[in-house]
Amino acid sequence: MDIGIVSMRYAKALMKYAADTKTEDRFYAEMAALAESFGKCTDLRGALENPTLPIGEKYTLICTAAMGENPVPQEFSRFIALVLDNGREGILQFISLAYLDLYRKSRHIGVAKVITAVPISKEVEERIRNSASTLLHARMELQTEVDPSIEGGFIFDINDYRLDASVATQFRRVKKQFIDKNRRIV
């Protein structure tokens, strides 16, 4: 069984269902929260794949991961019930990611991530978002992350491309050049 094909079929069906019920934006927020929960809690997928866990508890676990303490909308509840009835809870993470991709493609939304050594201001964040938006002719979702291990500079991921202008990477390149040059001398 190819997980990619199955998850894409569920995501496409969800996209059509959301379009029919005019809840695409809400489903996008719910699937984004669910995908984020899968990313933060690595045990979530294992718990859903556990055959001894009753379906009711899996349903509660999924709804809590996506909605938190908020009430669960009927459309989302029906979709999760469909996934659980068909035994596809193990690929729910992939379904949510596929839905996010489909939604972004249909709405011309690009995804970018900026990793810096220190936090950036809201003005700089907005300038980056606007520049990337005009360059790609798409609306941008920008995520920022602070990682002191890059020592300075930035790493910019946009769609499937990466611009690594971090000090740590520059140091690694210089070190590699020195090592390669010294090998030739000896």
Based on the domain organization, do 34 and 101 belong to the same domain? yes
DSSP secondary structure of the chain:
--HHHHHHHHHHHHHHHHHHHT-HHHHHHHHHHHHHHHHH-THHHHHHH-TTS-HHHHHHHHHHHHHTTSPPPHHHHHHHHHHHHTT-GGGHHHHHHHHHHHHHHHHTEEEEEEEESSPPPHHHHHHHHHHHHHHHTSEEEEEEEE-GGG-SEEEEEETTEEEEEEHHHHHHHHHHHHHHHHHHH-
Based on the domain organization, do 96 and 134 belong to the same domain? no
Based on the domain organization, do 131 and 64 belong to the same domain? no
Based on the domain organization, do 14 and 90 belong to the same domain? yes
Based on the domain organization, do 26 and 87 belong to the same domain? yes
CATH number at residue 79: 1.10.520.20
Statement: the pTM of the whole predicted model exceeds 0.85 = no
Q: Mind listing the pLDDT tens digit for each residue in 167-178? A: 999 999 999 998
Based on the domain organization, do 128 and 148 belong to the same domain? yes
pLDDT confidence of residue 186: 56
Q: Mind listing the pLDDT tens digit for each residue in 112-132? A: 999 999 999 999 999 989 988
Q: Give me the domain span that covers residue 30.
A: 3-105
Based on the domain organization, do 24 and 67 belong to the same domain? yes
